[in-house]
Amino acid sequence: MLKEFYRIMRAGGYKPAAVMGIISGILIFGITASGFQYFYPQANPLATDIIHSYTNQQNWSLLALSVTGVIMLLTLVAILREIIAWPRFQQPFVNIAAAICGLVYISVPMTLLIFIAYGSGRYEPGRVFCLIFFVWAADTGAYFAGKSFGKHKLAPSISPGKTWEGWAGGAALTLLVGWAAGYFLPDISLSHRLVAAGVVAVFGPLGDLAESMLKRSAGVKDSGTFLPGHGGLLDRFDAFLLVLPVLALLQVLVG
């Protein structure tokens, strides 16, 4: 997804430090995944008691500092790159901003999938699958409702095919799936499932519109060719980019 983002940026005339950006994205994901292995003893039975003697506050501070350090390192490398390449690369600070934006827009939100999976203090992949089903339900409901009843355009200048009726159909199906998911994931309470479904219903379409706006601004039809006939990975998972930060914040605030 990050590679596709930088490809779109290049198509728009910018020259972000794509290789360093992708490496930084991998580091952010790896650091976070490793951190969660140490945060929760049940996630890593081989971890020593000394590691777990640190408080959660210290753990979170260390993780946040590490992720911030990766972003700052990318900023430094991107600045050095622009200094060396000047004046061959025009708009140096726009190039730097594009490189950093890839991490903020894609890497950090997708890394929050780890946070969602460990939300109860132990690894629960069902939480991730539940979220995927919600996003699929929103897309499916919006498609069929929009095709059958769509009349009022949602954002015609960005995505002419999206309608308010389609959004309503997607939201309704997402909430229905949120209720029905209790038969498969009884450990997740109904209130949590419905709140997550509501977040997907509202912020999922916004994520889709944001990615459509990104492609239109660069004159690109699809983010990539990873899935022939369906575009790239960024086209398939754009809804997650705004849904995940909201769900993670709610998880921190209300559990």
Average of per-residue pLDDT across 24-44? 75
Cβ 236 vs Cβ 204: under 8 Å: no
Are 28 and 105 members of one domain? yes
Residues of the domain holding 252:
124-255
Beta bridge partners of 159: 155
- Secondary structure element (H or E) that encloses residue 69, with its range: helix 56-85
Are 174 and 104 members of one domain? no
Examine the fold and report which residue of 85, 120, 155 is the final residue of a domain before the chain moves on: 120
Contacts of 222 (CB under 8 A, 6+ apart): 215, 231, 232, 235
DSSP per residue over 84-130, as a string? HHTTTSSSHHHHHHHHHHHIIIIIHHHHHHHHHHTTTSS--HHHHHH
Are 108 and 162 members of one domain? no
Q: What is the tens place of the pLDDT at every residue in 48-91?
A: 443 343 445 566 677 778 888 888 999 999 999 999 988 888 88
Are 76 and 128 members of one domain? no
Are 158 and 238 members of one domain? yes
Q: What is the tens place of the pLDDT at every residue in 163-202?
A: 999 999 999 999 999 999 888 888 788 888 899 999 999 9
Q: What is the tens place of the pLDDT at every residue in 11-24?
A: 999 999 999 999 99
Average of per-residue pLDDT across 119-141? 87
Give me the chain's average pLDDT, please: 86
pLDDT at residue 57, as a whole number:
58
Cβ 236 vs Cβ 210: under 8 Å: no
Please state the domain count of the chain. 2
